[in-house]
Homo-oligomer: A and B are copies of this chain.
């Protein structure tokens, strides 16, 4: 089996792109990428994903505010919203006189399969020469995003995606060494993880220095601060309000 191919090279070369040339992404490219994405694996064929391409200028401007503000949400060639979508399943139940009745498992499948589909769509865009940036900020002011896109019960906004012709060449952000994430037969001891993390912290500081970052700190220090305060604390209430069962 060959471990070098243009596809593997493409997979390795990913960078998130936040500056785009002012060129639109044609509908044909969006359609081709989403159709490729649809070929991702999906549990028992449930296909729990919808994508809204936001073209309306005022909606794009509003989303740029709601997601950050992040200007590239308005400025990228295209902006897509990925929805974990149980609507089609609910409609099928209703039509057949059955009650849609699920628990956390169904919510998780809708998230997992949507993410698998999104990543495949992303790689299709990159194979066509576009750059992308996922927008997790879509989960910050969910109720307002919801209203803007007329989302009915059972449709959960997950993340946005900027797509466009790259106008920057960012350097590679170093990842955890593979030894920190790939194990054999059992999960490792804390000490092993802490040792690898401290090596990685040094590499991460180097990267921040090179990028001219204001605050130079290791990855693990950054993670400790981040996860010591809860984020998006109203998210569970929002998804439950849309019909998701988290129990």
Contact = CB atoms under 8 A, between A and B. Distances in A.
B11 A127 contact: yes
A152 B194 CA distance: 14
B109 A112 contact: no
Contact of A8 (B32, B34, B108): B32
A123 interface: yes
A2 to B, nearest CB: 6
Nearest to A227: B89
A169 interface: no
Contact of A101 (B7, B91, B129, B227): B227
Given A1-B128, A116-B115, A105 B231 contact: yes
Contacts of A172: 39
A171 interface: no
Interface size class of A (residues with CB under 8 A): 35 or more
A35 B176 CA distance: 10
A239 interface: yes
A191 B102 CA distance: 23
A88 interface: yes
A138 to B, nearest CB: 11
B29 A178 contact: no
A173 to B, nearest CB: 6
Nearest to A116: B119
Interface of A: 1-3, 5-8, 10-14, 16, 28-32, 34-41, 43-47, 49-56, 59, 83, 85-93, 95-96, 98-106, 108-109, 111-113, 115-116, 118-120, 122-124, 127-130, 132-134, 136, 139, 149-152, 155, 158-159, 172-173, 175-176, 178, 180-187, 190, 193-194, 197, 219-233, 235-236, 239, 246-247
